[in-house]
Amino acid sequence: MKTPFIARPLLLAAVLGCASAPQRPAPAAPVQRDAAPQRRTEAGAPGPAADAQAPEALSARAQRLFAEAVRAQEDQKKLQVPTDWAVLERRWRAVLDAADVAEVHFNVGVALEQQGRLDEARAEYERALASKPSLRQAAVNLGVLLEKRGDVQGAQAIYAGVVRDFPEDARARARLAALYRDAGQLDDAWRLAREALLRDPRSVGAYEVLVRVAAQRNNLDLAKLIALRAQKLDGADPELPYLLGVIAARQGDDAAATVQLRKALALDGHYLPARYALLQAAVKKESWKQVAEHTQAILAQDPKNAPVQLAYGIALRHLDKPDDALAAYDRAEQVSAGRLPEVHLARGVLYMRVKSECEPALKEFRAYAQAAGPMATTDSPVLKLQRECEQAVEEGRRAAEVANELKRKAEQKAAEEAARKAAEKGEASPVPVPTQGGAVSPTSAQSPTR
């Protein structure tokens, strides 16, 4: 028997309580001297290749290698295949072998960052800045790396320095505006995003900050209008349909929200914010098949996400796969190192409602109450479930006692009946007595021996 009153709140707690997918700061693409890189929403997305000529200080050989590296990226872009950043790294390192130039160090850093080699990328950006302090792109990308590492204050300091030293820069303003918005400083975020757009009317990052600020201020119509305008500038950015989907959901248009969120995933199947939003919508609708689909997709990217693993198990329980659900609960407990109390609650519910096994269920409920602490008495129905299970166990114990008593009485009655029948049979049948010759005399049992 399933329990609708516990499944949905528990799953919502598991999914909504887990951390949202982080917004991935995006590096710039390789650039040349004084070329301003455009912001990219997703790490790993190929940006515009360097145009014009190589820096004037390069030798003829270095200029030729520089041009070949630029052409290699342009060719990959024309083929519409994923950028092979390892190949581009080798191309740019070949240029470095011919000439030690700041722009080339920067481009090597971009290739390294796209491969996830952040420490090496940071070193290249720092070399570029040391060689050419005016290369603001390297400073901005260094700030992006600090964001990825969670050093928000360090990133903010770098962006602020770029804004101060390069009044014409738009990208640092857009990134700084995003940090202000994350910190709840909406007025400053709005101002900086507007300033970024004055310097670069095509700054999609600045538009996205304006969309989020307007949504936070509950001005959903304005947020939608800005997002649609930004979408005309960059139709390949998954963050824009994602934002439109979030706005539509808040306006109560679930169908439009789903369309936009799936569009975001069509643009980038690895864009986790859209996947989380679809997962939450499926949870609210108790569409367990979709919940299983979205949790599996998230786990393919983040296999150590314990709350999502737990949500996957709960979906499996509702899809009548209790053994698979228990396996998912075990994985959630393992990857969380036992720090996710809801695993015990989910496992207890399964034992109680699906397998009708209250003893192991009680063990899980008590483990949950101990791990969750006071929360177990306020935000969870575990106490009600525990009392229900304890009552069932007590009723089962009493029923067993009654059954044992009835069995004992039945056995006693059967024994007495057998004894009575044996006695009656003994009175009706003469007992044969052996004679002196060993033969049995039928009359000897009826008269005393003389």
Residue carrying the six token digits 């963050």: 239
Q: Kindly give, in sequence order, each residue whose CB lies less than 8 Å from that of residue 105, ignoring residues fewer than 6 positions away.
A: 96, 124, 125, 127, 128, 131, 138
Most confident of 23-32, 336-345, 418-427: 336-345
**Containing H/E element for 440?**
strand 440-441
370, pLDDT greater than 70: yes
Residue-level length of the chain: 450
Which one, of 96, 72, 95, lies nearest residue 85 by Cα? 72
pLDDT of residue 299: 97
Q: Residue 218 pLDDT > 70, yes or no? A: yes
Closest CA to 113 of 87, 151, 142: 142
CA atoms within 13 A on the CB side of 45: 23
Closest CA to 256 of 243, 270, 238: 243
Please report whether residue 184 resides in a domain.
no
Average pLDDT value over all residues in the chain: 83
- Mean pLDDT of the 154-167 span: 94
pLDDT tens figures, 295-309: 999 999 999 999 999
Any idea which residue has 């004037």 for tokens? 56
110, exposed or middle or buried, with CB in 10 Å at 0-12, 13-18, 19+?
buried
Determine the average pLDDT of the residues in 47-66.
63
pLDDT in tens, 382-398: 777 777 887 777 666 77
Total domain count, the chain: 1
In percent, the amount of the chain with pLDDT more than 70 equals 79
Residue 388's pLDDT is 81
**Residue 177 falls within a domain, yes or no?**
no
CB neighbour list of residue 315: distance below 8 Å, 6 or more residues apart: 11, 288, 289, 291, 292, 295
| pLDDT band (50, 70, 90) for residue 191 | very high
Band of residue 428 on the pLDDT scale cut at 50, 70, 90: low
Q: Which residue has the higher pLDDT, 447 or 378?
A: 378
Task: Indicate if the pLDDT at residue 33 is higher than 50.
Answer: no
Residue (of 52, 6, 47, 8) closest to 27 by Cα position? 47
Mean pLDDT calculated for residue range 329-333? 96
Instruction: State residue 350's pLDDT score.
Output: 95
Work out the average pLDDT over 429-443.
Answer: 54
CA 30 – CA 77 distance, rounded (Å): 13
Among 176, 252, 237, 166, which residue's Cα sits nearest to residue 202? 237
- Structural domain boundaries, residue 124: 23-166
Mean pLDDT across 196-210? 96
Residue 236 to residue 36: CA distance in whole angstroms: 20
Domain contains 409: no
Q: How far is residue 93's CA from residue 87's CA, in Å, rounded to a whole number?
A: 10
How far apart are alpha carbons 112 and 88 in whole angstroms?
9
Contact between 204 and 211 under an 8 Å Cβ cutoff? The reply is: no
pLDDT higher than threshold 90 for residue 61: no
Whether 2 has a pLDDT exceeding 60, the answer reads no
Beta bridge pairs of residue 434: 440
- What the block records as the tokens of 92 is 């740019």
Q: Let me know if residue 419 belongs to a domain.
A: no
pLDDT at site 397: 72
CATH code of 160's domain = 1.25.40.10
Element holding 441 (H helix, E strand)? strand 440-441
The SS3 call for residue 238 is: coil
Contacts of 110 (CB under 8 A, 6+ apart): 27, 28, 29, 30, 121, 141
249-295 pLDDT per residue, tens:
999 999 999 999 999 999 999 999 999 999 999 999 999 999 999 99
- Say if 122 falls within a structural domain: yes
Is residue 7 in some structural domain?
no
Strand (E) or helix (H) holding 61? helix 60-79
Structure confidence at residue 157 (pLDDT) = 94
What mean pLDDT is predicted for residues 306-320?
96
Residue 397 lies in a domain: no
Low-confidence winner among 47-61, 84-98, 171-185 (lowest mean pLDDT): 47-61
* Whole-Å CA distances, 158 to 51, 53, 169, 204: 26, 29, 13, 21
Cα separation, 286 vs 303, whole angstroms? 23
Q: Is residue 15 part of a domain?
A: no
Q: Are 169 and 160 in contact (CB under 8 A)?
A: no
Q: pLDDT tens-digit profile of 112-136?
A: 999 999 999 999 999 999 999 999 9
